[in-house]
């Protein structure tokens, strides 16, 4: 099957399952701490399947966003996180963006996802667990393929006695040559474990002068199954189902730099090209000075920065001026400065009174989609 046909099949499959995602998330919110495990698992598996399919097709933006949704949903199904209104709101925004990417599949790699990723990662930074961006990153090397796996995903994948395996497929001979569909393989893996990451070596396709006869497709797979059962499940020879412990040279752990920088009472959290700032309750002169430094640092380090101003109870003309000046600076450098939510009512009234007003939804800053 040609790549375009595979992508179209992927889009149709995603649309079919994403159509009902909003009602499922609302049911999760209504259930609170008394979750229906089957419902949560279905939503988790949707994000998981989209991540795997996108990885197989080289759709990195869709894969990255689905991966962050998956991490948060894993916390819900593991009873680490109650799907409150705030949590579900972030999940809804994430799935809305994911649907938009799928609907615009051929432009999806150029569409921004930084705001949604930052919001999802802020939720996954629960007390007592490693921050994703401050986590140790493990590159898993299989031939020319490298998996960059954050510590949160690795920890989630190996819970409950799960083992990590490297699966080495050939898209031409192992899948298409046997009359199988790639998504059937992904579904079989999702039914019995967790796809931590997957990569297709598109360079192996070759060119017109040297046409490739093999397209490696590498999967990092977590399952409680023993190797012999994994081989039978995916219909691969034993030598292409390898346990991570048998290839120690494939793993190296490196410490990634911390993603947080403090500016007085403000903390700028940075991950994957996006940043997040939580503003204090009162924007005093000292707080405004800290905010300016934090915004300048965010513009240097990030492609997009999201402000959480929900807790701000009081601001004056200097605060409003600071936000508008920052927005102009970011726009000038082709960066994005957005708000997590509309301006609180009291600030909105003050903003309008002092002549800075606009529509309620996007007053001062656009609200992150």
pLDDT digits (tens, 9 = 90+) for 95-146: 999 999 999 999 998 888 888 888 888 887 644 444 444 444 444 444 444 6
Query: What's the predicted TM-score (pTM) here?
Result: 0.60
pLDDT at 208: 63
Same domain, 6 and 76: yes
Same domain, 9 and 73: yes
pLDDT at 116: 87
Q: What is the dihedral of CA 23, 25, 30, 34, to 10 degrees?
A: 130
The last residue of one of the domains, among 237, 257, 277, is 257
C-alpha 110 chain-centroid distance: 16
C-alpha radius of gyration, the chain, whole number: 22
Same domain, 233 and 118: no
Neighbours of 178 (CB within 10 A): 8
Q: Are strands 274-278 and 304-308 parallel, antiparallel or unpaired?
A: parallel
Same domain, 5 and 118: yes
53 Cβ neighbours under 8 A, 6+ residues apart: 10, 13, 14, 182, 183, 186
As a whole number of angstroms, the distance between CA 188 and CA 69 comes to 21
The last residue of one of the domains, among 257, 281, 314, is 257
Q: Is residue 365 part of a domain?
A: no
Per DSSP (E only), the strands in 95-223 are 136-142, 145-149, 163-170, 194-200, 216-223
Q: Give me the residues of the chain with pLDDT under 70, please.
A: 1-3, 125-146, 148, 181-183, 202-212, 248-259, 272, 357-362
pLDDT in tens, 235-265: 888 888 988 888 765 554 434 444 678 888 8
Q: Which residue has the tokens 């082709």?
A: 334
C-alpha closest to that of 65 among 31, 36, 94: 94
C-alpha closest to that of 336 among 299, 293, 300, 288: 299
346 Cβ neighbours under 8 A, 6+ residues apart: 313, 314
Same domain, 142 and 244: yes
Q: Is residue 115 classed exposed, middle or buried when 0-12, 13-18 and 19+ CB atoms within 10 A define those classes?
A: buried
pLDDT at 368: 81
* Domains identified in the chain, total number: 3
CATH of the domain at 274: 3.30.750.24
CATH of the domain at 146: 3.30.70
As a whole number of angstroms, the distance between CA 153 and CA 212 comes to 33
pLDDT at 130: 47
Beta-bridged to residue 73, according to DSSP, are none
Same domain, 163 and 196: yes
As a whole number of angstroms, the distance between CA 200 and CA 48 comes to 17
Number of residues in the chain: 369
C-alpha 368 chain-centroid distance: 15
Domain limits for position 311: 260-353
Dihedrals phi, psi of 66, to nearest 5 degrees: -60, -35
């Amino acid at each position: 099957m040609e790549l375009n046909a595979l992508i179209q099949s992927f889009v149709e499959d995603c649309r079919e399952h994403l159509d009902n995602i909003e009602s499922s998330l609302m049911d999760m919110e209504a259930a609170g701490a008394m979750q229906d495990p089957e419902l949560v698992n279905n939503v988790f598996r949707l994000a998981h399947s989209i991540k795997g399919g996108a990885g197989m097709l080289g759709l990195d933006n869709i894969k990255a966003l689905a991966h962050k949704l998956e991490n948060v949903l894993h916390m819900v199904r593991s009873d680490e996180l109650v799907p409150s209104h705030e949590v579900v709101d972030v999940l809804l925004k994430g799935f809305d963006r994911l649907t938009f990417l799928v609907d615009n599949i051929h432009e999806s790699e150029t569409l921004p996802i930084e705001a949604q990723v930052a919001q999802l990662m802020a939720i996954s930074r629960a007390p007592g667990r490693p921050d994703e961006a401050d986590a140790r990153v493990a590159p898993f090397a299989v031939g020319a393929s490298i998996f960059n796996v954050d510590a949160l995903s690795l920890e989630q994948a190996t819970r409950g006695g799960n083992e990590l395996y490297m699966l080495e497929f050939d898209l031409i001979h192992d899948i298409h040559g046997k009359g199988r569909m790639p998504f059937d393989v992904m579904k079989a893996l999702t039914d019995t474990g967790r796809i931590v990451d997957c990569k297709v070596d598109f360079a192996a396709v070759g060119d017109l002068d040297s046409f490739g006869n093999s397209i490696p497709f590498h999967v990092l797979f977590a399952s409680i199954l023993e190797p012999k059962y994994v081989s039978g499940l995916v219909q691969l020879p034993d030598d292409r189902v390898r346990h991570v412990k048998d290839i120690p040279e494939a793993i190296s752990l490196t410490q990634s730099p911390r993603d947080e920088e403090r500016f007085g009472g403000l903390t700028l959290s940075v991950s994957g090209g996006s940043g997040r700032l939580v503003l204090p309750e009162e924007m005093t002169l000292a707080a405004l000075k800290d905010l300016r430094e934090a915004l300048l640092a965010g513009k240097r380090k990030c492609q997009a920065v999201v402000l959480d101003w929900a807790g701000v109870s009081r601001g004056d003309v200097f605060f409003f001026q600071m936000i508008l000046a920052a927005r102009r600076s970011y726009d000038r450098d082709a960066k994005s400065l957005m708000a997590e939510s509309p301006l609180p009512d009291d600030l909105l009234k003050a903003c309008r009174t002092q002549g800075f007003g606009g529509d309620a939804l996007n007053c001062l800053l656009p609200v992150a989609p």
